Amino acid sequence: MARISTPFLGIFLLVLLCCYASNMVQAAGYPAYKDPKRPIGARIKDLMKRMTLEEKIGQMVQIERVNATAQIMKQFYIGSVLSGGGSVPAPKATPRQWIDTVNKIQKGALATRLGIPMIYGIDAVHGHNNVDPQLIKKIGIATAHEVRATGIPYAFAPCIAVCRDPRWGRCYESYSEDPKIVQMMTEIISGDKVAACAKHYVGDGGTVKGINENDTIVSQHELYSIHMPAYYNSIIRGVSTIMASYSSLNGVKMHANQELLTGFLKNRLKFRGFIISDWQGIDKITSPPHSNYTYSIQASILAGVDMVMGPYNVTEFVDDLTNLINKNFIPLSRIDDAVRRILRVKFSMGLFENPLADNSLADMLGAQEHREIAREAVRKSLVLLKNGKSAYTGPILPLPKKAPKILVAGTNADNLGYQCGGWTIEWQGLSGNNLTSGTTILKAIKDTVDPSTQVVYNENPDTAFITSNDYAYAIVVVGEQPYAETNGDNLKLTLPAPGPDTIKNVCSHIKCVVVVVSGRPLVIEPYLESMDALVAAWLPGTEGQGVADVLFGDYGFTGKLARTWFKRVDQLPMNVGDAHYDPLFPFGFGLTTQPIKQM
């Protein structure tokens, strides 16, 4: 008879004891899905067995914050809530106010029969990100901390669109026209403890004429070599969710594209997270939108959409989807797949164990260390396009800090809202310096120059003003006003007035550096000859000091164009590698300077 040694006997008995204890817990009514020691798959299976159809459908719904009352959360078993652009608990809400808002909604979800926590989402995508992957990873972690500081665990970012036409109003959300750069920038997904959302799947950056939500007409090779690669990287990096695009692909609405949502993304790439619709995205399957909502629900859910961002029409969605299931137009297996994916994300994030937010990260919102990361990103993303009118005159940058008097001009020099662009506090952005805390470029210049240097600011000076003063040099800051999405679509891409006149007036009389603040390249060639230097600042955000850091030589210019700078808009679309490639400044271009050693 074989004998069991004492150590192994002890282990064997311990295992039996654990199994017995676990069974006793189950027998006592403690559900397995609430046991964090159990595998996630087992917890999902246990919870799914307990859920009614109404509870499953509720998990597939994401509504806007303003509608997320405790009663609505309990009545419809809502699975997710979001803040749309500009939807805040209060103007300039504090972390405490955000946390209280999110927790109040969460308590409504936890009060349901099964106590399934909701997941709260918000947009955290912003700016033209022309920096290295290592810095992007730091930005991702800082952004995650700031999102968590407000009690929110889910960010609708990154946007991994490959913008192939700068006329597109969302081009500043894209990293580059080059899919390889966009792939590298998926490093941002490594942000700490926040569920990421890769968007917008797929091809949204390649629409005809850059028109938002338009049709992307591409070959299979172009689709899989240009627009798809960053999704491979995102899935490898463990992205939790992917958002379907408003746009169509070769005439098929992406929200109804079963071949690419289910066939390719879920089955071929083995994506295990959930697919979420864009804001009222399923409504737009039909034209006009919402004209046949029952069809839109059927088409999108069968195509593979798991969670529907239907911010307002909760009852209509729930009733229509229930009828479609009861009449066998949508199989219950499709609903189970969607709910299983949503629950997997929630379990993986630890929401069942820690559903409520706390104040532990409140001090991280706007933290100085995060501002320093943003300032570094500004410095490294600036691209020096011209430095000196000719080889004989020599470079003008970096500028001397000590001068008797200098002129600062332009609409974008003293406007924090213009520096930040769209998706800042409000969906479309704002003008002025009161929307958030930060440093304008004008303020940064004043803080950087020698105390003896007089800085004169005039937004749009006339010739008399310019010639009646003896300026050592001028810094002209011009560019776009804020916009987002369709409101930013622009078939002309001209430099907004009075920018051209400001450049002409100033640069024809004084040595001048022109700084362009924009979300994309603009028509600049007609004014280029008059400039001594030209800097693309993109959207530097709140940390305008990063611009002054490089203008005055505390740091050198190192940035390179991640996007082709065209000569004329009739050249578009024009991307590196095209047969008709004839840019003003080519992809990858960027002059460099050396920092000045300070005494």
| Catalytic residue ranges | 278, 485
Identify whether the C-beta of residue 121 lies closer than 8 Å to the C-beta of residue 156.
yes
What is the rounded distance in angstroms from the CA atom of residue 404 to the CA atom of residue 417? 30
Mapping DSSP to helix (H, G, I), strand (E, B) and coil, where does residue 487 land?
A: helix
Question: What backbone torsions phi and psi does residue 2 show, to the nearest 5 degrees?
Answer: -70, 145
**Which DSSP letter does residue 585 get?**
B
User: How many CA atoms, within 13 angstroms, populate the side-chain half-sphere of residue 520?
Assistant: 32
Q: Give kind and range of the element (H or E) at residue 81.
A: strand 80-83
- Helices 332-349 and 293-303 meet at what angle, rounded to 10? 70
CB 334 within 8 A of CB 503: no
Residue 323 CA from chain centroid, whole number: 36
The distance from CA 414 to its chain's CA centroid, rounded to whole angstroms, is 25
In Å, how far from its chain's centre is CA 81?
18
Smallest CA-to-CA distance from 48 within 344, 345, 314 is with 344
Report the alpha-carbon distance of residue 79 to residue 58 in Å, rounded: 6
Peptide bond into 500 cis (omega under 30): no
Instruction: Give the residue among 139, 281, 143 at the shortest CA–CA distance from 199.
Output: 281
The closest alpha carbon to 296, from 265, 261, 215, 288, belongs to 288
Cα separation, 68 vs 102, in Å, equals 10
Token code pair at residue 449: 């120059």
